Structure 1
């Protein structure tokens, strides 16, 4: 019946003079033709080439004000271009998606966005893990050029499967698939340019696809756009070393005669510390070794094996909490709050030397209060052990090595030697400090009933030094935890008559100075004078206020 209808249609078209009939062999069985695809042929075809006003705007930018940025990106692009494009072909996506990494990170493994997206392809933590990337305190596979590229290819492929359009897939890579899916369903269109023209997408995403297209045009024909003097970096030529044990990268790089920064940044950017751990997921440990040095690396790998595996496992099991920066926050204040160091905060957040943070920024903070851990190898010294008589002191908040030594009446140099520390060593709350010999805490001699503040001292340190509890020290002096002290200030170590005769009020939720003044039948001015604060002072919950008679 289907054949008869086809013949009738052909006869009609022929009669109209618009079609020349083709002779059909009706005796041959008509079978469904099997479609075979090349295993490396992109699914969904290539990314379309389109030039419009939006694309030209970005071409003008990259060849004008943004020229120095594009030159830098093009210079880096050749470092991993062959490797990345090969992976894109293997995953059956267009190799031109390589240029998405150009506008995402400028081909920089350490790139980090304001949203904490990391690496060449700028994965956020959740998406990276969803596509098989491992992220912890020792390693971040979002920084790996091969693993991250494979994850990005699979993510982009799934987005194309969802939208059946490469422009929408690239837009969703930027803003998220759910946002784009809602817009497609609401406005019943799969045309990116229609959504962009109606300004239904975020401004960044409206610019994202034209920016990609402009960057691709320039990168594929750089001389045509005036980029004929770019100094392209040579592609990294490397071999891979596979071992079944963790390796100290610093030790291995030293034995191979390579700068450790170069060995980590260019060849093995995955690793955030000197540790390179094994993982079950990857079946051991794979390292990139410069071409020609593989034999030497195989020989030196065992000598570079990590001995202190316990420390490495402690780091591997570390998880981050998040701190949202508020007005008035500083790195030092955040470090004290989470019992860590400024250096650790800068390292895990990839901050620069200037310590600049902004309100609303989200910072990674470690959940444990540990000292800085340095990778150790077979050539490293073991942790100090003290064989003589000793007393163990557990560090409290606000204590320093000098304060601890003075408490036990022991010289600072002896404490440093017993713990194999230096004067610059950092200690942390809860750390065990060896005090040589049998000691009890030395009772500090007080000068009368007051103490004069010296340079660098804090209220907490004075409390520890004098043996007065911190809460009593605040009460005796009419201070609170946020009060500032200055050099030469006299601090009461006992309750004076004037203080004892006054009432103390602990601020509760919802209270203000005016409420408290009415409650006790005094003027706001009197409370402010008694506590050394201004009348418009913002009181905090839990703050102690002196109430004058």
Structure 2
């Protein structure tokens, strides 16, 4: 390959539609790839790996916060102090090892460290690794949470990237950027699912005092598709184009010029460019590892139940609109609007003010239909179908102070995401074992350290509203039948026995308190059948 031709754009004629992304890591980076598979699936967030940054598969020591702190919980400064001491110990081991000869005796840990350098390596090689020591945290739990969250967006992302002729694998790039969390922010100022800095986003996304489209998971995906397509047209190589998403196009070109190569393996091994550091060198192989796991999660995590896709409609505001008037017109709560429109900044909601003209406002499908009779010339919008849903669906999710009732479909990962705290902390305060899942109907204690209660409730309700909308795309209530409760029966047991969601039973018995039912009480049970006009999975009928 002629690397100068790439630098000066001679590959501009190639289009993403003609491209193919290799499944295998670039030559020489196979062990880097395996390292990231392990980081994402094997090592917990409590575990910190002390590695050689040049070759991170050389894992010199695995430390565990839980060995030093009860449950692994301590302040950041205390953890950092402890980790620095661990790193110093490894550095001393490496120095001591480098001064030994092959005929000397070695401790078990010294032998293990020497083995990291390959069969037959001389002890002297260990000394050079001291200045390249790096700590890499395990990511098993956040990666699993990202798998769950990704269900919201993957269908939309497939469509966006397919329309651009881009490899479908790119929809998994957020696993190494944000874990699909739209509220994610980096120390460098990048924001959103696709982690745009303000400079990179400026040509593609709106950013002002009221709106930051970097936080919109769909608009930012469209921008990311445009950026990646442009990088590929300029570089003619997907390993380089994806790496450029992290380093910038000019950054990767400077590295290519300094190494005199267009092979990513060469750049990783040979470059000493100050801005082409550990994260940039590992970005592409980490992405390949993440995408492989995302396509094959069960061997690593068992069955993963992802969140249902966002099922929404949009209206484009032609002029500024008052939040309260939109709430009234479309019959949705302000919390639901806020949860579905993360690009609208806090000032709008805190002021109870106006949403600017030109904003593409997201609404539940049925809300657009309900508001159509009140629709003015100030909005335009469309939806592909109208959802038939009973009015006043019950979204009281059992919140009582800081203890709540777990609903069907909720996982510990959901709660960790909604509350922005580690899942381990929820396990600790509820006395849950590591492999214990949540069951519908059980009580769960929650804490509001980062997210306030209204924001948590808005996120949780938006999740359940999406489930309800999705249900009515696939099923229709044809009738009801009356049953008389027997001893020990509850709404939970009735829902399971009849293969319907718990919330659906509540919706047809909204005058009843599900926590105060008695034997002999009459309850309406909806009769459900699959909607013949819509295709869909029968998964909702497998339990409440």
TM-score (structure 1 length as normaliser): 0.45
Q: Which has the higher helix share?
A: 2
- Greater Rg, structure 1 or structure 2? 1
Using CA pairs under 8 Å that are at least 6 residues apart, name the structure with larger relative contact order, 1 or 2. Answer: 2
